[in-house]
Amino acid sequence: MSDLIKTASESESETNLPTLVEVNTESLSDTLAEQAYTDLSKMIHQRNFKGGQQLVELRLAQQLGISRTPIRQALRRLEGEGLLQKRGSRHYFVRRVELQEYLHSLKVREILEAEAAFTATDNVSETNIRNVWKNLKVVETLQPYSVLAHWQSDEEVHSLFIDACPNKVLREVIRSLRATTKLFEIENLSERLEPDSRQHEAILTSLLRKDKKAAKAAVAMHIKSLYKFAVSVL
């Protein structure tokens, strides 16, 4: 487990935060592909690329200062995660998610993630929960607001129970749905920081207490809140 993650503010400043995830690389090619994946994923989530925009291998390779092979590997990985769509043999486009698909995905997430939390409660370690909670408190105090840090903290909280869910199919379906909802270009995301933090704390508290019913209810309430927020600002 690594002690540090890297997040970036919208002003492109960087802040080091603790994390639970460490990526091990075994060769230069793997390292460059991982670098390309990380950079492109960050650019997609920062909205540097818009929904429907084509990503050109050569242009990306020049922009990131690496060869086209690791770029191609990264694009295939992002396609597998549902962030990109492939048309033809080599043309990749950022997947466009419309309002209806976003709202429908949230409704399904409300049911499935709540069930995942219920089944995972006994499998999440106290150490991991406390590390994620520490990260959450750090993100709350960042100035200026960092959308990437917000996304990272959200991912850590949800990954606690998704990764610990014993149902592999359920885990994969949830991850696909989360990729879809992350692609939706919602405005005013900074307004979600405070309610997200309080709702995430409720989830973490339930996991710490190994209270299955409370964890299920907290996750469902959190995602229902996201749905209501989206409807109110769109």
pLDDT for the residue numbered 158: 98
d(CA 180, CA 200): 20
**Cis geometry, peptide bond prior to residue 144 (ω within 30 degrees of 0):** yes
Helices (H) and strands (E) in the chain, counts: 9, 5
pLDDT for the residue numbered 29: 54
- Predicted TM-score (pTM) of the model is 0.77
pLDDT for the residue numbered 17: 43
d(CA 206, CA 129): 10
Residue 202 sits in a domain of what CATH number?
Answer: 1.20.120.530
Residue 222 shares a structural domain with residue 119? yes
If we measure between CA atoms, which residue out of 81, 1, 3, 99 comes closest to residue 37?
81
Q: Which domain holds residue 17?
A: 5-94
pLDDT for the residue numbered 183: 86
Residue 150 shares a structural domain with residue 221? yes
pLDDT for the residue numbered 89: 77
pLDDT for the residue numbered 82: 87
Residue 128 shares a structural domain with residue 180? yes
Q: Which residues of the chain have pLDDT under 50?
A: 1-28
User: Of 94, 120, 144, which closes a domain?
Assistant: 94
